[in-house]
Amino acid sequence: MFIPVIDVKSAQYSHLIYRRLTEIDVQSKLLPVETTLNDLIKMRADAVILSGGPPRIFESLGELSNLIEIVLNFESPILGICISHQLIACAFGGKAGPAKTPEYGPVVIYIDDKNEIFEGFNDQFIAWASHNDEVYTPLPRELKILAHSENCEVQALKHLSRPVYGVQFHPEVSHTENGLEIFRNFTSIVKA
Amino acid sequence: MNFQALVDGIVDMIRRETKGKNALVALSGGIDSTVTAILSKIAIGDKLKCVFIDTGFMRERDFKDVDYVSNKYGLDVEIINAKDEFLSELLGRSDAEEKRRIFREIFYSVLGRKFKEAKCKYLIQGTIASDWIETKGGIKTQHNVLKQIGIDTVKKYGFKVIEPLADMYKDQVRELAKFLGLPRKIYDRQPFPGPGLLIRAVGKLTERKLDLARKATEIVEKELAEMNCSQYFAAVIDNKWSIDERASIELSTRIVERLTVKRMDTYATGIKGDLRVYGRIAALMDENIEEKTIPQLVQLQAILISKFSEYTRVVYNISRGNEKRKHAIIVRAVVSSDLMTANVAEISMNRLCEVAQKIKDEVGDFPIYYDVTPKPPATIEFE
């Protein structure tokens, strides 16, 4: 299985995503932010993970249009983290922007919908976040909220009919409880 | 991880890259450069030379550890005294990034001269993943990251850089060190920044501040040695501040007791949403110290930093001290395996107050604070 990671502009944790995938014996590779849908198809990616990163979502939708095209048209599973989670919401017509209460460090995540990406998780767990922006509600019709935290309504989302997932927190950092399980669950979705 | 395959791969790579020529490793006494030196020794034997640059910002134990490693592994180490060069360029500098960049320039100029003298063209260094990720991401300039940010080392300093550990994190290097049979005091050693005490003398650099940072760090290292923290040290800031009324009211209403927030004049490095922030330090003054726990204080920290975006650090007063003193001392202790995220170490208030008392007795009656900010939004070091 080959799951590349698109690094959104020298993100702090994109290389950690790569590390987590290799830890569960998935072949991976870090790709630059300019990567296109065609590149992914050509390299026969079985899925793709889009990293977090420093850009602010409301200023960056134009320059990240190649990633929006991937989200809309790549037929294999997609997992977007942090800014890429916000980008997924925007790609389907939702809105994202500055968070009323930004979160840095540990937050409690409450699972609203125990979906395949949260298979095996307790109803709540501690994850680490680092975001200035967030996804606004209501979500577009084809997206669904999977989890929230005290200060952030959309901590995780999925598309209703396609294997597209987003998480606002960082499952790849070592302080997130059972973070590796999110990647395991994602690879199970890829296999299915 | 298959460590034998990893070692074989690195040894091959070093042999291939150095093409049978001499190479140099800059040792610091830390685990990354030590592992790099040992692997280089396996790869190229007597063609390896090591140098240890005495920057004036190192601790006594760094010298001891370099000495230990060089004896145990038969490394040929030359100590270069560059203390005056570093100090004369850096005294009076305040900005954390400026300090780091100047440090890097002097460090590699000194090395460059050594390379010319030794007619050597290859530098093998222990840069790890967290170093280049933070530097490339603009969070802070790790001195040992050059080519990743576009510095042509051959042109600028006259040597090519080889980084065998660049894809590994600290916990993986520790595992590798264990595999190589290094003793616990090396593989368990707490990280110490390349620019050393320079960055822990926060704000304008003076010899007095450096001296205080050295003494206080030594005490914290001794006192917290058995607490299973990953990194624990002291930093020194200027004791200048004003009361932040809005933040004081916000916190006091949240926990229904009087807390005073001091807004320190000194800036400190932080990271919010993958962006570098050079922000303010909020210092909490509390009458009921013994009733607080670290998780409570970390929560107060989160409220403060998300509501008042100018702050990147929250520190909590563990010894009032004499407010007339020109400096204040920060104690920091964190838990982290890979240095990418870090939790505040959960040490009891009693124990923290004992550490503060030791500092008061041995260094002076300064206001002393414990840093209650995780990474993010802080960084692991205090600068």
CB-based contact (8 Å) between A110 and chain B? no
CB-based contact (8 Å) between A98 and chain B? no
How far does CA B54 lie from the centroid of its chain? Answer: 16
User: What pLDDT, on the 0 to 100 scale, is given for residue B252?
Assistant: 86
Contacts of B306 in chain A (CB under 8 A): 101-104, 151
Structure tokens at A62: 């134009």
Those residues with Cβ within 8 angstroms of residue A156's Cβ, 6 or more apart along the chain or in another chain: A85, A109, A111, A117, A118, A145, A146, A147, A165, A166, A167, A168, A169
CA distances in angstroms from A178 to A50, A64, A128, A156, B267, listed in the order given? 20, 30, 11, 15, 35
- Given a contact cutoff of 8 angstroms between Cβ atoms, the answer to whether A8 and A84 are in contact is yes
CA atoms within 13 A on the CB side of B94: 8
Which of A82, A90, A148, A152 is the catalytic position? A82
H or E element that contains A108: strand A96-111
Could A12 and B169 be called an inter-chain contact, meaning their C-beta atoms sit closer than 8 Å? Answer: no
CB-based contact (8 Å) between A178 and chain B? no
Q: Which CATH code for domain B3-187?
A: 3.40.50.620
CB-based contact (8 Å) between A152 and chain B? no
CB-based contact (8 Å) between A175 and chain B? yes
Q: How far is Cα A80 from Cα A102, in angstroms, rounded to an integer? A: 19
How many residues make up chain A in this entry?
192
Q: What is the pLDDT along chain B (383 residues), one digit of tens a residue?
A: 799 999 999 999 999 999 999 999 999 999 999 999 999 999 999 999 999 999 999 999 999 999 999 999 999 999 999 999 999 999 999 999 999 999 999 999 999 999 999 999 999 999 999 999 999 999 999 999 999 999 999 999 999 999 999 999 999 999 999 999 999 999 999 999 999 999 999 999 999 999 999 999 999 999 999 999 999 999 999 999 999 999 999 988 887 678 999 999 999 999 999 999 999 999 999 988 878 899 999 999 999 999 999 999 999 999 999 999 999 999 999 999 999 999 999 999 999 999 999 999 999 999 999 999 999 999 999 99
CB-based contact (8 Å) between A19 and chain B? yes
pLDDT tens figures, A53-106: 999 999 999 999 999 999 999 999 999 999 999 999 999 999 999 999 999 999
User: What pLDDT, on the 0 to 100 scale, is given for residue B254?
Assistant: 82
Could B133 and A106 be called an inter-chain contact, meaning their C-beta atoms sit closer than 8 Å? Answer: no
Considering its fold, how many domains does chain A have in total?
Answer: 1
Nearest to B132 by CA among A188, A54, A104, A15: A15
3-state secondary structure of A99: strand
List beta partners, residue B21. none
pLDDT average, residue stretch A29-57 = 98
Phi, psi (deg, nearest 5) at residue B187: -70, -20
- Given a contact cutoff of 8 angstroms between Cβ atoms, the answer to whether B47 and B18 are in contact is yes
Nearest to A190 by CA among A158, A163, A160: A163
To the query of whether residue A90 is one of the catalytic residues in this protein, the response is no
Could B275 and A101 be called an inter-chain contact, meaning their C-beta atoms sit closer than 8 Å? Answer: no
**Does domain B200-371 sit in CATH 3.30.300.10?**
yes
Q: What is the complex's ipTM, to 2 decimals?
A: 0.96
Which of A90, A103, A131, A172 is the catalytic position? A172
Which among B138, B340, B373 has CB closest to A16? B340
pLDDT tens figures, A102-150: 999 999 999 999 999 999 999 999 999 999 999 999 999 999 999 999 9
pLDDT bracket for residue A26 (50, 70, 90) = very high
Which among B133, B298, B307 has CB closest to A15? B133
User: What pLDDT, on the 0 to 100 scale, is given for residue A53?
Assistant: 97
CA distances in angstroms from A85 to A68, A79, A114, listed in the order given? 11, 8, 18
- The three state secondary structure string of chain B is CCHHHHHHHHHHHHHHHHCCCCEEEEECCCHHHHHHHHHHHHHHHHHEEEEEEECCCCCHHHHHHHHHHHHHHCCCEEEEECHHHHHHHHCCCCCHHHHHHHHHHHHHHHHHHHHHHHCCCEEECCCCHHHHHHHHCCCCCCCCCCHHHCCCHHHHHCCEEECCCCCCCHHHHHHHHHHCCCCHHHHCCCCCCCCCHHHHECCCCCHHHHHHHHHHHHHHHHHCCCCCCCEEEEEEEECCEEECHHHHHHHHHHHCCCEEEEEEEEEEEEEECCEEEEEEEEEEEECCHHHCCHHHHHHHHHHHHHHCCCEEEEEEEEECCCCCCCEEEEEEEEECCCCCCEEECCCCHHHHHHHHHHHHHHCCCCCEEEECCCECCECCCCC
Angle at B334 between CA A125 and CA B175, to 5 degrees: 85
Contacts of B343 in chain A (CB under 8 A): 106, 175
DSSP A27: B
Query: Residue A171's closest chain B neighbor by CA?
Result: B341
H or E element that contains A119: none
Q: How far is Cα B350 from Cα B347, in angstroms, rounded to an integer? A: 8
CA of B204 vs chain A CAs: smallest distance (Å):
28
pLDDT bracket for residue A171 (50, 70, 90) = very high
Cβ count within 10 A of residue B293: 11
Could A102 and B306 be called an inter-chain contact, meaning their C-beta atoms sit closer than 8 Å? Answer: yes
Could B274 and A133 be called an inter-chain contact, meaning their C-beta atoms sit closer than 8 Å? Answer: no
CATH code for the domain of A24? 3.40.50.880
CB-based contact (8 Å) between A15 and chain B? yes
User: What pLDDT, on the 0 to 100 scale, is given for residue B257?
Assistant: 79
Domain ranges, residue A180: 5-191
CA distances in angstroms from B37 to B50, B111, B162, B168, listed in the order given? 8, 16, 12, 16
- Given a contact cutoff of 8 angstroms between Cβ atoms, the answer to whether B283 and B369 are in contact is yes
Could A105 and B169 be called an inter-chain contact, meaning their C-beta atoms sit closer than 8 Å? Answer: no
Could A52 and B274 be called an inter-chain contact, meaning their C-beta atoms sit closer than 8 Å? Answer: yes
- Cβ-based interface (< 8 Å): residues of B facing A: 129, 133-134, 136-139, 169, 271-275, 298, 302, 305-307, 309, 336-338, 340-343, 373-377
Q: How far is Cα A61 from Cα A58, in angstroms, rounded to an integer? A: 6
Q: Where in chain B is the domain with CATH 3.40.50.620?
A: 3-187
Task: State the pairing for strand pair B259-272/B275-286.
Answer: antiparallel
Structure tokens at B216: 């206080």
Which among A128, A132, A174 has CB closest to B337? A174
Q: Where in chain B is the domain with CATH 3.30.300.10?
A: 200-371
CA atoms within 13 A on the CB side of B193: 27
DSSP string, A139-174: PPTTEEEEEEETTEEEEEEEESSSSEEEESS-TTST
Contacts of B377 in chain A (CB under 8 A): 104-105, 130
CB-based contact (8 Å) between A7 and chain B? no
Token pair 């100090």 in the structure block, residue:
B87
Those residues with Cβ within 8 angstroms of residue A102's Cβ, 6 or more apart along the chain or in another chain: A131, A132, B272, B273, B306, B309
Contacts of B344 in chain A (CB under 8 A): none
Phi, psi (deg, nearest 5) at residue A2: -120, 115
3-state secondary structure of A59: helix
Which among B275, B306, B338 has CB closest to A101? B306
Token pair 């303010």 in the structure block, residue:
B280
